[in-house]
Structure 1
Amino acid sequence: MITRIYALLCCLLLSAAASAQSSKTPIAPDARQKTSDTVVTDAVERVENITKMLNRVNNTLRRGFDTTEISAELPESERLVKNLHAGILANPRLLNIRSLYALQVILLEMEQTHNRWQQSLSTYSRAVTDMSAEINNILHDTVLERLPKDPGLQSLYVNQLSQLNRKWLQADTANRNSLLRIGLLQNRVAMNYIAITDMLDEVDFKLKNAQQHIWGREEKNLWDARPGDYENNFPQVLEGSIQATHRVFRFYLRYNWDVHLLNLALFVAYFGWLVASIHRIKKYHHDKKGIFGNTRYAARQPLLTSLIFVFTVGPFLYTNPPIIFMVILWTVLAVCVGLLQTREMPVWMRWQWGIMLSVYLGYALLNLLLQNSFLERWAQFFLQVAMLLVCWFFLRKQEQESAYNWPKYTRLVVYLAMGMFIAAMLTNLFGRVMLAKFFGISAVFGLISAQALVVLVQLLFETFYLHLEASKSNSRFAAFLDFNRIRESLRSTLYLLAAVAWFVILLRNLNIYSIIRDEVLLFLEAERKLGNTTFSFSSIFIFVAVIWISFQISKVMMFIFGHQDDSGSVKKNRWNSAVLLIRLGVLGAGILLAFTASGIPMDKLTIIIGALSVGIGFGLQNIVNNLVSGVILAFEKPVEIGDVVDIGTQSGTVKEIGIRASKIATVEGSVVIVPNGDLLSQHITNWTLTTQLKRSELIVGVAYGSDLKQAQALLEAAVKAQEAIQQYPAPLVVIHLLNDSSVDFRVLFWTDINVGLTVKSDLLRTIYDSLNSHGIEIPFPQQDVHIRGEAPPPADAASLPPSQP
């Protein structure tokens, strides 16, 4: 091959020879040196840069692109596609819902794999094409055509071009070979990918058709069925199904290592978290037995706790898992739940759990069969009868042992399972075999998964409790949190999520999850018009969901930071001042995120703000006033959560400073709702703004004639005997008033505002006993009444005659 560099090399050699023999007129030395230096500098730099580029290209092409996996696995994938098309799609006898689901799983995994291969090959192809462009650009480089004037430099330059020509030929050949190899692989992958997508479309069509006719009769009625009505007997069907199931399981296990590793990481993280909490409690807490006594499972069985967490959450991370894969995961989950609760279960419940697990394994085995058989139908019937008896026995025992702490809705779940068992029995009797399998396995695993999810919620609370107790020794924030309040606030949410997860598991076992999901998504994502506005229910749902979540987060934060002790009194802490601002920030961020996530244009937000401004002018003044007042309260902090205040005629403790109004808990037990605007506009007496101390006063009277110095000393001693009375500021006892019937002393002292009444009561009792024991009378209000009679007559008045009328 004669390249342009080679031709350029020949031209330069001829030009050098001609220039050496031609002109006899010498060039001025300075001019010749200047021209030669310029040419040499440009040429040497350009040759050096081109050489580096060619070395890099040659090294990259020599190492090659990593297509080993594609080259090794593509032939097997091509054979598998041919076998699947010839073995299943071309055989209508094997096309039932179970075989179609298994085939769909394989094809979906192959589609994802080929997608990944195509992306890798496209990346390699672009890289090779870019290197080809860099190689071809050398041919159009005009700097290489300039020849140095100096004969010695000409020889060196020609030698460099010769080496450059060899590197260029090597890079060009390797580049062409790489393009050819990658192009052939891309073509084979693309052809196989097209075949996979065609088969996947065919499977989806047949699957939807089979689901629509799921209620149709497949076999004869059970009482009319005979072994000769079936092409293959049970052992033959079992053998073929095991081989197909093993192939599906191995294929799915092989191409989902990322999710496997994710679940393994979740298990290690959860187990490490739990074990570390238990270790810290054992090492640093003196009351470790009391802490562990508050848990039922997590502290005693951390390994089983972690396994239940992973095998409950992990299955939801897989996309389109085959039934054999889910059966293995759920079987391990059921065994772990049974082992965890063995010690607390009554004996009859252990037997029931074992029977239920055995029935589930039997149903799982029957559910894996790709064809129906005579023996399988009767096996289903006996399993259905057995589970109905188990459920009936459970309901009887539950009524007898009402003291046992049964989870809520237990009877509802059992009744639902019994209904599905009855439906499975009826559909099996009347020839709907596949539908009977779906009802049966959904019912039995519905019972197992319901118990597993209830146990999981309990385990999550116990794990979090152990973490809080372990962190209280080195974390002030953990010591501040109240586990009981957090549990009460999150209990309903976790059980709601558990109910949703149970419903999803039920739909998956009924094999209608994908149908319902697709229909719901189609309904939500369909574009609708209201006037000139286009919207979808999905955007509305996302908008409402994000705002609801932000509101729940704000509510939980208020619930946690509005801290109360065991007596119900609100505690004042350093977090309370920022709670309102954080709540407002969460709600504001939630609104903005809701607009962004739902796809609603931000210019709509300006319209809403404009509408609100009009509303403010007409009727929202009070609401906006209270909202702004809440922000001012958060910044100026005249009142904080936990403060004892007097507002008008009301007195109590600030329980919550909300966005619109605040709550004040009175000593009588009522809660007064005060708008934030009133908190700023009214005169407020805050007893705990700067200190928790409050001055109390007692008036003690002693009788006239008592030793006043002794009485004052006794009062001072009684005050000093009370430990709850503050010594700084020092208490004070002074003579206050000369009353009508007593000499009054005024006793002044400082106490914590939360214990003022108790200290006052104790001090009065001490004063009374002290004065009484020393003979000092405490007078009570009294009044002396002197009764005067008529004056006696004079001595000579008796001898006088009585007066005449």
Structure 2
Amino acid sequence: MKYTFFLILAITFCGTVTAQKPGRKMADSTLFSDDNIPTRSDYLTQFEKVFQILNKAPLVIGSFVRIDDFQEKLNESDSALAILKEKFTSTSDRTLNIRNLQMYNTLLDELDRNMNDYAVHLNEYDTKLEDLKKEIRDLRKDTLLRKVFRDSSLRQSFIPQLQQLRTKFKRADSLIRHSTAQVNDLKAHTSANTIVVEELLYQTDASLASVGSKAFGKERRYIWEQPTARNNMSRGAFRKSVNNEQQLAQYYFTNTRSKRFWLLLTGLAFFFWIWNNFRSLKKRKKLSAVDGFNFSYVSPVPVIATLLLILNLAPIFDVHAPAIYIETTQFLLMILLTFAFYKRLPKDLFWGWCIFILLFLLLPGTRILGLPLRLMRWATLALDIASIFFGLYILSRSKEVKSKYKLVFYATGLYTFFNFLAVICNIFGRVTLSQIFAATAVYALAQTASLAVFVQTITEAFLLQIQSSRIRKNYPEEFEVKDIRKSIHRLVIVFAALLWYIVFTTNLNLYDALNDMLSALFTAPINIGSFKFTLSEIAIFLGVIWVANFLQRYIAYFFGDTGDDAAFDDKGQRSRLLITRLILLILGFLVAVAASGLPIDKITVILGALGVGIGLGLQSIVNNFVSGIILIFDRPLRIGDTVEIGDKKGRVKEIGIRTSTLLTEDGAEVIMPNGDVLSHNIVNWTLSNNHARVALSFSIERAPGTDVLKPEILDIIKSNEKVVEKREVEVTVSNINSKKTDIRILFWCRDISKVSAISEEVRNAIYAHLEKKGIIIL
């Protein structure tokens, strides 16, 4: 580039060429000229191409929009890494507790990802700069430009273009030099930080790995022994350590805010879900429809319920958060639970809960005060002993607690046991193990109480959704709540148990170890002949299939369809739900295959084996499955239709993949294989409409005036709103003699399911009319 620059300078400042004297006019000889000689237009076109290349410099460099952001982020990471290096080089290990080590590990993983991201983008910038430099260097090979440089007359004719070229080149050269230096500095900075991050990650992993062996060993003297030397951290040093911990926590929150963004988004979605359902009920003046559910936690403005949800889900969104974050979220959760328990717990249990909150606050308080280590051990010993007596008091009320609050009873037993272990470990110098057991005891009990409320809140939210959907679709308010509540409750308990497991194992510093163990177990390849797979692939496959099956079973609840007779008349929705279920099953299978990573050729082998099984004895199952798909898409009958299949008559309650269910007039449910359904003639009374013809016959005594009965009976029938007006009503008078007259009436009712009620209603109206006229009915 320097060569090109000086070459252009030489061209620009070269002397001008003397003008040629005008010669005599020559004859036109263009027909015999050489076409290979460049024209002025060719030179100008080439100058234009050069200008375009030089103009790329500000455009390319302007695309480096994250340069300043990278510099700022790297400076912030320098501060965090300096604090971490000081933590690990410090002789005191009081701040290197398990929670902080886990947070350091997560923070360093995030820094490592950031450094990799910076390196990728900086390499892209460097590649773009190199490509631009190459294009500019290639200008020296251009023959036209070289000819201009050598020919003084040509230089004289292109002086404006050469001056413009010089200006553009100086600008491009300056930008490229500055950006190249900046990118190189940032790449070096990133590489240096990556080395430091990897070293600190190694130290953190080693510290976490040594916690187990260190915790079970004797770290300190017995609590009754006097120390031989004062090696406690000074007050100022401790305050500095706490400030550094706060700075690391702030950096952690800044760089992992996306986790809490999704947590907040989940909470907002939950809030508007409940709020919208209550608003829907209020708009229809049906708030009383949920009175029978006795909701405890959801309300028309579900602020407390939303906060309970967010604080309960916080651990799963941020497993290795700083200790101050965990302590703050748990404290806020306990305050919310205090308001929730105020009128729901017995008075003495409520005061016991308040005492537990006090004990919880004293646990981080001993750390925040910066007490000397020996004094801290005595303070935590007193706190753990007080916790043991508190747990024994709650357990002494075993009959009342165990009958109403089983989970709290067992969690209190676990709380008491772990506090006892903490006391023993503290006395015999196992300080780290004592801290682990004490923290685990407190968080296990607090998490159990909060998750019990969490399960109840989610269950109430789903019941509210079911009832509001039923009200919007004009279904009856009453439905069987007990079984639905039980199924929802069971599912939410499984999810709550997973949350509890995460928090419990994290506090015991077992979460990562168990994760690694399970990961090694599930990712180990298993060979069966030529078939190779892992347990994780099988687990993912079965898990996705289970989720798809669960969704297809319970999706109807979300739309208010609980499987009762109320939704029979809404055939459109029932049909859509049926197709949705089938689609969920098919998509679930396809997603399971894709997510598990099982090779398609192996799936083909399995399907081939399945084909052999079909040939050997699964014909009926496949027949019913295919027949179910035909029933779903061909729709000879729909859910809610009144049909006759063989000798069975009833309303279609369910169309499944393998069987269909008819609900007879007597209330019996007839389960028929789908293959049998299609093999019989299907009489569908409601395929196109719900109308049904009703026939009434009776005899009356022959009397004067009976000739005018026909129009009067027609008026009685047509006045009934349940009779189809557009269909003709037939009244036939026959067998007329001196003693009696036979009357036969044919009319159409609107709803086939109410034929009996309508026929009796019409018959009673006709009888009342005849009695009023004094006509005797035989």
- Which bracket does the TM-score occupy, shorter chain normalised? 0.7 to 0.9
* C-alpha distance 24-324 of structure 1, shift in aligned 2 (>3 A): farther
Displacement after TM superposition at 1:502 (Å) = 1.9
- Determine the structure 1 residue equivalent to 2:531: 533
Paired residues of 2:16 and 2:152 also in contact (CA < 8 A)? yes
Displacement after TM superposition at 1:590 (Å) = 1.7
**2:327 corresponds to which letter in structure 1?**
V
Displacement after TM superposition at 1:202 (Å) = 2.3
- Determine the structure 2 residue equivalent to 1:795: none
Displacement after TM superposition at 1:539 (Å) = 0.8
Unaligned stretches of 5+ residues in structure 1: 780-805
- Determine the structure 1 residue equivalent to 2:643: 645
Which digits, 9 at most, give the CA deviation of each residue in 1:414-469, with x for residues without a partner?
43334333433443344433223323322322232233334334444555666788
Equivalent residue runs for 1:333-482 within 5 Å: 333-366=333-366, 373-394=373-394, 399-400=399-400, 406=404, 409-460=407-458, 462=460
Q: Is 1:709 aligned with 2:706?
A: yes
Equivalent residue runs for 1:564-713 within 5 Å: 570-700=568-698, 709=706
Displacement after TM superposition at 1:383 (Å) = 3.2
* C-alpha distance 375-669 of structure 1, shift in aligned 2 (>3 A): farther
- Determine the structure 1 residue equivalent to 2:517: 519
Q: Which has the larger radius of gyration?
A: 1
Displacement after TM superposition at 1:579 (Å) = 4.0
- Which range moves more in the overlay, 669-678 or 483-492? 483-492
* C-alpha distance 234-163 of structure 1, shift in aligned 2 (>3 A): closer
Displacement after TM superposition at 1:207 (Å) = 1.4
What secondary structure sits across from 2:644 in the alignment?
A: strand
- Determine the structure 2 residue equivalent to 1:185: 186
* C-alpha distance 370-76 of structure 1, shift in aligned 2 (>3 A): farther
2-structure distance, mates of 1:746, 1:247: 94
Which digits, 9 at most, give the CA deviation of each residue in 1:46-95, with x for residues without a partner?
21222233234157659987544554565675566456445534637556
* C-alpha distance 645-614 of structure 1, shift in aligned 2 (>3 A): same
1-structure distance, mates of 2:448, 2:117: 38
- Which range moves more in the overlay, 120-129 or 73-82? 73-82
What secondary structure sits across from 1:669 in the alignment?
A: coil
Displacement after TM superposition at 1:382 (Å) = 3.6
Which digits, 9 at most, give the CA deviation of each residue in 1:583-627, with x for residues without a partner?
333222222221111111122233333333333333232222222
**2:706 corresponds to which letter in structure 1?**
K
**1:117 corresponds to which letter in structure 2?**
Y
- Which range moves more in the overlay, 261-270 or 139-148? 261-270
1-structure distance, mates of 2:87, 2:575: 71
Paired residues of 1:81 and 1:195 also in contact (CA < 8 A)? yes
What secondary structure sits across from 2:215 in the alignment?
A: coil
Displacement after TM superposition at 1:538 (Å) = 0.8
Displacement after TM superposition at 1:44 (Å) = 0.9
Unaligned stretches of 5+ residues in structure 2: none
1-structure distance, mates of 2:10, 2:206: 68
2-structure distance, mates of 1:70, 1:676: 64
2-structure distance, mates of 1:414, 1:372: 31
2-structure distance, mates of 1:773, 1:171: 110
Paired residues of 2:447 and 2:500 also in contact (CA < 8 A)? yes
2-structure distance, mates of 1:768, 1:671: 36
- Determine the structure 2 residue equivalent to 1:145: 146
- Determine the structure 1 residue equivalent to 2:219: 218
Equivalent residue runs for 1:170-319 within 5 Å: 170-222=171-223, 224-226=224-226, 231-232=231-232, 239=239, 242-268=242-268, 270-271=270-271, 282=282, 284-288=283-287, 295-299=295-299, 301-318=301-318
Displacement after TM superposition at 1:410 (Å) = 4.2
2-structure distance, mates of 1:85, 1:650: 80
Q: Is 1:39 aligned with 2:39?
A: yes
* C-alpha distance 43-9 of structure 1, shift in aligned 2 (>3 A): farther
**1:39 corresponds to which letter in structure 2?**
T
- Which range moves more in the overlay, 591-600 or 423-432? 423-432
**1:420 corresponds to which letter in structure 2?**
F
**1:554 corresponds to which letter in structure 2?**
Q
- Which range moves more in the overlay, 151-160 or 628-637? 151-160
- Which range moves more in the overlay, 185-194 or 386-395? 386-395
- Which range moves more in the overlay, 346-355 or 32-41? 32-41
Which digits, 9 at most, give the CA deviation of each residue in 1:140-191, with x for residues without a partner?
2223134499998652324423442453344335423432343233223312
1-structure distance, mates of 2:569, 2:532: 51
1-structure distance, mates of 2:137, 2:474: 66
Displacement after TM superposition at 1:537 (Å) = 0.7
- Which range moves more in the overlay, 618-627 or 193-202? 618-627
What secondary structure sits across from 1:575 in the alignment?
A: helix
Displacement after TM superposition at 1:543 (Å) = 0.9
1-structure distance, mates of 2:80, 2:720: 90
**2:619 corresponds to which letter in structure 1?**
Q
Displacement after TM superposition at 1:535 (Å) = 1.2
Paired residues of 2:80 and 2:251 also in contact (CA < 8 A)? no
Displacement after TM superposition at 1:745 (Å) = 4.9
Q: Is 1:754 aligned with 2:720?
A: no
1-structure distance, mates of 2:474, 2:213: 57
1-structure distance, mates of 2:388, 2:449: 18
Paired residues of 1:217 and 1:431 also in contact (CA < 8 A)? yes
Give the aligned length.
772
1-structure distance, mates of 2:135, 2:618: 69
Paired residues of 2:289 and 2:477 also in contact (CA < 8 A)? no
1-structure distance, mates of 2:123, 2:402: 67
Paired residues of 1:13 and 1:158 also in contact (CA < 8 A)? no
Paired residues of 1:297 and 1:305 also in contact (CA < 8 A)? yes
What secondary structure sits across from 1:641 in the alignment?
A: coil
* C-alpha distance 688-356 of structure 1, shift in aligned 2 (>3 A): same
Which digits, 9 at most, give the CA deviation of each residue in 1:498-530, with x for residues without a partner?
221122122222221111111111211122222
- Which range moves more in the overlay, 130-139 or 62-71? 62-71
2-structure distance, mates of 1:778, 1:481: 42
- Determine the structure 2 residue equivalent to 1:115: 116
Which digits, 9 at most, give the CA deviation of each residue in 1:375-426, with x for residues without a partner?
33343344334444444544566844899xx567443434333433343344
Displacement after TM superposition at 1:364 (Å) = 3.4
* C-alpha distance 362-314 of structure 1, shift in aligned 2 (>3 A): same
Paired residues of 1:472 and 1:478 also in contact (CA < 8 A)? yes
What secondary structure sits across from 2:643 in the alignment?
A: strand
1-structure distance, mates of 2:405, 2:690: 45
Equivalent residue runs for 1:48-67 within 5 Å: 48-58=48-58, 67=67
Paired residues of 2:267 and 2:307 also in contact (CA < 8 A)? yes
Displacement after TM superposition at 1:265 (Å) = 4.5
Query: What TM-score do the two structures reach when normalised by structure 2?
Result: 0.84
Paired residues of 2:466 and 2:560 also in contact (CA < 8 A)? no
Paired residues of 2:118 and 2:190 also in contact (CA < 8 A)? yes
Which digits, 9 at most, give the CA deviation of each residue in 1:332-391, with x for residues without a partner?
222223334434444434323322222222223457799983333343344334444444
Which digits, 9 at most, give the CA deviation of each residue in 1:619-669, with x for residues without a partner?
232222222222222233221111122233322221111111111122333
Which digits, 9 at most, give the CA deviation of each residue in 1:178-237, with x for residues without a partner?
323432332233123212202211221231122244333334455x35577874389789
2-structure distance, mates of 1:302, 1:570: 33
- Which range moves more in the overlay, 410-419 or 8-17? 8-17
**2:191 corresponds to which letter in structure 1?**
A
Paired residues of 2:466 and 2:557 also in contact (CA < 8 A)? no
* C-alpha distance 297-505 of structure 1, shift in aligned 2 (>3 A): same
Paired residues of 1:633 and 1:639 also in contact (CA < 8 A)? yes
Equivalent residue runs for 1:558-569 within 5 Å: 563=561
